[in-house]
Amino acid sequence: MRGDASAGSNGGMSRDEALSLVRRLLVANDLGELLALQEARGAAEA
């Protein structure tokens, strides 16, 4: 991941930064699953 080497001297991200990152990853994962389902459904109908 970008920024690991330049993380703060406290050894990493703040709790809020970590939570927002996790939230973004979860949202991206949900969107990826939705797109995959739609593609599979479209392929099945074709």
Asked whether residue 6 is domain-assigned, the answer is no
> Of the ranges 7-16, 17-26, 36-45, which is most confident?
17-26
Q: What digits encode the pLDDT tens for the residues 16-39?
A: 999 999 999 999 999 999 999 999
In single-letter form, the type of residue at position 15 comes to R
Domain assignment present for 45: yes
Domain that holds residue 30: 13-46
11 Cβ contact list (under 8 Å, min separation 6): none
pLDDT of the residue at 46: 77
Instruction: Specify the pTM.
Output: 0.54
Residue 40 in domain: yes
**In this model, does residue 11 exceed pLDDT 80?**
no
**Total count of domains within the chain:** 1
Give the residue, 4 or 31, on which the prediction is more confident. 31
Q: What DSSP string describes 1-46?
A: -TTSTT--TTSS--HHHHHHHHHHHHHHHHHHHHHHHHHHHHHHH-
Cα dihedral 23/26/30/35 (nearest 10): 100
Structural domain includes residue 5:
no
